[in-house]
């Protein structure tokens, strides 16, 4: 019998599901059991071409609609997503292995928030009137045209919506390529947008690995590329987009600092460290994986952290009692286990976890290393798994310098009860998305994105509008034209 996760077809183009089994088969593996639950086929060059040409054509009429009309469709899609939240969350759990406890509140709901928020903004995207004496200049906020979205595997529904919603609100069309590791959820986003009334061809989904992503990025019909992925992929995609002078948004990796001063509320700080390292089994780009703890509270912090980490419930992700799921794939599990071995070899002190869990699927125990130093591999490289590095520090000045000593700059957090210190420290940290006495909140109203190697551009909030539109300025002369001859 077909597994319920098996989609109707691999691609969604021009308002309908499309299958083409000539493409390379991509098995979809349920990370909690290792069983194959679905198969999709990578887009052939013919499918890539069909998706791009349909999106290019459909965009013209979409951009001519009023913002209010476009927004109404996005808001209707948000309502449908909320109505279908349970079903979409179950699918998200099959796609990623993340526990239903999380997916019920963090995925389709976050996607719906983006559709609702940008749907609401769509009618208010206006230009300016700039008086020039008798003359004037007016500006028009225009769509970019055809946008490509390329997703990572940790939040397949959310990423499809965080890119699609602002793109469509501004009058663009989109071809979205999900990660080959989690190809299922974006198809549902396309289906729902069309059910809500999006014209055929406005939002298309095609499957494939890096080659398909590369074909999309280099196609001359494409005006903008928005990627969520790793820094090495980001460098390649940014360079390829630059060849065609395309707009880009790059949401890339991180190795973010979470700084805990000794006056912080310990339980809140431990909660922040847990949220910033173990949510989605650590597969979150903005995670605060370098936890700097001031020496005065170090042992107390570690003891409370180990105690609370021991409460994680590993198990069947479709069971709502489970609070900690597997790695997305066997490959990712092996990468993370490799980092854990490096941590042990390089002399970090293992506080808890440190191995594959003794059960089916790709589970790794939530792992905490203490006495980590800045030069250790686990403190320098993005692990993208449930591995927290705790480092000690003495002074504010020292910890700011050490926190910034990285190529990345996605996020940063500070826990302290001294609010002037909190703002002073955050002001000096080189990061795009920051938190005070909290960690990893990502509401659609707040800009999200990184500095340095962690990215270019911002998702969410009004900032995202700037990255999915461009400004035309028009000078209007009321009098005669003076010319030299």
Nearest approach in angstroms of CB 151 to ligand NAD is 5
**Which sign does the torsion angle of CA 252, 471, 168, 75 carry?**
positive
- The closest of 18, 120, 32 to 79, measured between CA atoms, is 120
Which letter, b or e, does each residue of 346-371 get, where b requires 16 or more Cβ atoms within 10 Å of its Cβ?
eebeebbbbebbeeebbbbbbbbbbb
Binding of residue 153 to ligand NAD (CB under 6 A): yes
Nearest approach in angstroms of CB 396 to ligand NAD is 27
Binding of residue 451 to ligand NAD (CB under 6 A): no
**Which sign does the torsion angle of CA 50, 52, 56, 62 carry?**
positive
Helix (H, G, I), strand (E, B) or coil at 329: coil
Binding of residue 154 to ligand NAD (CB under 6 A): yes
Nearest approach in angstroms of CB 473 to ligand NAD is 32
Nearest approach in angstroms of CB 417 to ligand NAD is 30
Binding of residue 214 to ligand NAD (CB under 6 A): yes
Q: How many helices (H) and strands (E) does the chain have?
A: 16, 20
Q: Which is nearer to ligand NAD, 351 or 379 (CB)?
A: 379
207, 178 Cβ separation under 8 angstroms: yes
The correct pick among 209, 297, 335, 426 for binding ligand NAD (CB under 6 A) is: 209
Catalytic, 459? Answer yes
Q: Which is nearer to ligand NAD, 190 or 252 (CB)?
A: 252
Nearest approach in angstroms of CB 367 to ligand NAD is 18
Please identify, among the stretches 49-57, 149-157, 314-322, 339-347, the one whose residues bind ligand NAD according to the rule CB under 6 A. Answer: 149-157
- Give the span between the Cα atoms of 287 and 384, in whole angstroms: 8
Helix axes 108-121, 85-96, angle to 10 degrees: 120
Residue holding tokens 């209010």?
A: 68
Please identify, among the stretches 37-45, 168-176, 225-233, 313-321, the one whose residues bind ligand NAD according to the rule CB under 6 A. Answer: 225-233
- Give the span between the Cα atoms of 277 and 57, in whole angstroms: 44
The correct pick among 58, 77, 88, 152 for binding ligand NAD (CB under 6 A) is: 152
Binding of residue 384 to ligand NAD (CB under 6 A): yes
Q: Which is nearer to ligand NAD, 243 or 480 (CB)?
A: 243
Cα 89 to chain centroid, rounded: 17
Strand partners, 441: none
- Give the span between the Cα atoms of 50 and 48, in whole angstroms: 6
- Give the span between the Cα atoms of 402 and 57, in whole angstroms: 51
In the chain, what's the furthest Cα-to-Cα distance? 87
Catalytic, 295? Answer no
Per-residue x/- marks for ligand NAD, 67-106, CB under 6 A? ----------------------------------------
Closest residue to ligand NAD, judged by C-beta, is 213
Nearest approach in angstroms of CB 412 to ligand NAD is 14
H or E element at residue 291: strand 290-294
Nearest approach in angstroms of CB 199 to ligand NAD is 26
Q: Which of 163, 188, 246, 255 is catalytic?
A: 163
- Give the span between the Cα atoms of 470 and 447, in whole angstroms: 18
The correct pick among 92, 107, 191, 382 for binding ligand NAD (CB under 6 A) is: 382
Catalytic, 397? Answer no
380: exposed, middle or buried (Cβ count in 10 Å: 0-12, 13-18, 19+): middle
192, 216 Cβ separation under 8 angstroms: no
Q: Which of 102, 180, 251, 382 is catalytic?
A: 251
- Which tokens in the block code for residue 442? 């990502």
Q: Which is nearer to ligand NAD, 123 or 214 (CB)?
A: 214
Binding residues among 176-195 for ligand NAD as defined by CB under 6 A:
177, 179-180
390, 290 Cβ separation under 8 angstroms: no
Count the residues of the shown chain that bind ligand NAD, applying the rule CB under 6 A: 29
Point out which residues bind ligand NAD (CB under 6 A): 150-154, 177, 179-180, 209-210, 213-214, 217, 228-230, 233, 236-237, 251-254, 285, 382, 384, 410, 450, 455
Active site residues: 163, 251, 285, 459
């Amino acid at each position: 019998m077909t597994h319920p996760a098996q989609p109707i077809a691999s691609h969604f183009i021009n308002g309908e599901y499309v299958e083409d089994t000539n493409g390379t088969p991509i098995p979809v593996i349920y990370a909690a059991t290792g069983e194959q639950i679905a198969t999709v086929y990578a887009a052939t060059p013919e499918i890539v071409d069909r998706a791009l040409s349909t999106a290019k054509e459909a965009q013209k009429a979409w951009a001519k609609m009023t913002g209010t009309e476009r927004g109404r469709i996005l808001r209707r899609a948000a309502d449908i997503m909320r109505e279908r939240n349970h079903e979409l969350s179950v699918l998200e759990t099959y796609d990623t292995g993340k526990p239903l406890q999380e997916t019920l509140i963090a995925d389709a709901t976050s996607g719906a928030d983006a559709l609702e928020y940008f749907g609401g903004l769509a009618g208010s995207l206006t230009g300016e009137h700039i008086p020039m004496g008798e003359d004037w200049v007016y500006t028009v906020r225009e769509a970019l045209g055809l946008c490509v979205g390329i997703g990572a595997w940790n939040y397949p529904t959310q990423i499809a919506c965080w890119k699609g919603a602002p793109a469509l609100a501004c009058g663009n069309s989109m071809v979205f390529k999900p990660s080959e590791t989690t190809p299922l959820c974006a198809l549902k986003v396309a289906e729902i947008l069309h059910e809500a009334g999006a014209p055929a061809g406005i939002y298309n989904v095609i499957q494939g690995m890096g080659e398909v992503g590369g074909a999309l990025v280099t196609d001359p019909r494409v005006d903008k590329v928005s990627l969520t992925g790793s820094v090495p992929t980001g460098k390649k995609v940014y360079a390829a987009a630059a060849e065609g002078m395309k707009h880009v948004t790059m949401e890339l990796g991180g190795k973010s600092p979470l700084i805990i001063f000794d006056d912080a509320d310990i339980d809140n700080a431990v909660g922040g460290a847990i949220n910033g390292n173990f949510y989605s089994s650590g597969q979150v780009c903005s995670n605060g994986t370098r936890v700097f703890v001031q020496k005065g509270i170090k042992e107390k912090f570690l003891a409370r952290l180990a105690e609370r980490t021991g409460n994680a419930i590993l198990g069947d992700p479709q069971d709502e009692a489970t609070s900690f799921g597997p790695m997305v794939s066997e490959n990712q599990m092996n990468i993370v286990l490799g980092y854990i071995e490096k941590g042990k070899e390089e002399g970090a002190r293992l506080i808890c976890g440190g191995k594959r869990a003794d059960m089916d699927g790709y589970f790794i125990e939530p792992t905490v290393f203490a006495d980590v130093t800045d030069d250790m591999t686990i403190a320098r490289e993005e692990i993208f798994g449930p591995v927290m590095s705790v480092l000690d520090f003495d002074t504010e000045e020292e910890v700011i310098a050490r926190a910034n000593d990285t190529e990345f700059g996605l996020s940063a957090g500070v826990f302290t009860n001294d609010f002037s210190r909190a703002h002073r420290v955050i002001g000096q940290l080189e990061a795009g998305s920051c938190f005070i006495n909290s960690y990893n909140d990502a509401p659609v109203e707040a800009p999200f994105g990184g500095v340095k190697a962690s990215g270019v551009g911002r998702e969410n909030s009004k900032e995202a509008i700037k990255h999915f539109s461009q400004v035309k300025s028009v000078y209007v002369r009321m009098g005669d034209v003076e010319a030299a001859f």
